[in-house]
Amino acid sequence: MRAVNCDGYSLIELLVGLSVSIMITMAALALMTTATTTQSRLDGKTVLSLEISRLLTWMESDIRRAGLCYQCGDTSPYHFKHGSRSHLLAIGGELNQSEGQCLRFSYQQTETYPTHSMGKDDAKGFRFDADSQAIEIYENHREIKNWSCESTYWRDISSHALKINYLTFSRDEQRTASGRVVTSLTIKLSAALRDKPSESETLSRTLVLVNTVHPS
């Protein structure tokens, strides 16, 4: 009969085995930590991209209606008059300003018949609030006289998870062969996660407005 070794493992063998087990466990933990960190970073980037896209889509869909007036022709009350020129969009505080962080526009929102005056619900706008680092929408259903970039009738529409770095509007106007003026607008938005400021993203979109104006 073969003799069986009943002495067990030596101390050195136990220490070697324990060391190997510890190294394997530490490697597994490091791999799990890396995977968790990577997933968290990807989740943060996804949230950031989705929120920026949501804000741009919101602004774009509303701005595209600028100047809309049912059968109003060139007497539309939804044009900004500046001397002999008319504009669909007003940027900043001056009508001849072509770039800035506050945009105002208007369109016929409720009625479907020609009108010669703008209603209180027709005034629209978006702006960047540098103090709170947020994007705001103009929201005033009282009087048109409050419709300005400096008024307090603006509401935050950006996610609390975001810190808006900047928002700019750039307007370009081109005259066509028929004499109409076509307006295009470039919106540039940069934002970061509030809890991870290093995670930032910048996107821009350019849209051409359907409605046009006729130079006076």
Per DSSP bridges, beta strands 102-106 and 90-91 are: antiparallel
Categorize the per-residue pLDDT at 72 as very low, low, confident or very high, splitting at 50, 70 and 90.
Answer: confident
The tokens of 116 are what? 């010669």
Report yes or no: 60 and 207 within 8 Å, Cβ to Cβ: yes
SS3 211: coil
Instruction: Find where tokens 């109409």 sit.
Output: 180
35 is a domain residue: no
Which pTM does this prediction carry? 0.77
pLDDT at 8: 63
Is 80 within a domain?
Answer: yes
31-46 tens-digit pLDDT: 776 655 554 554 668 8
147 found inside a domain = yes
What is the rounded distance in angstroms from the CA atom of residue 205 to the CA atom of residue 169?
Answer: 10
The kind and range of the H/E element at 133 are none
> For residues 45 and 169, what is the distance between their CA atoms, to the nearest angstrom?
24
**Residue at 31 is within a domain:** no
Count of the separate structural domains present in the chain = 1
Kindly report the average pLDDT of the chain as a whole number. 85
Residue 19 lies in a domain: no
Range of the domain at 83: 42-208
The pLDDT tens digits of the residues spanning 100-138 come to 999 999 998 877 777 778 888 899 999 999 999 999 999
Alpha carbon distance 151, 16 (integer Å): 74
Interatomic CA distance for residues 33 and 35, integer angstroms: 5
Is 49 domain-assigned?
A: yes
Please indicate, yes or no, if residue 13 is contained in any of the structural domains.
no
- Per-residue model confidence (pLDDT) at position 82: 78
> How, if at all, do strands 154-156 and 134-138 pair?
antiparallel
Whether 213 is in a domain gets the answer no
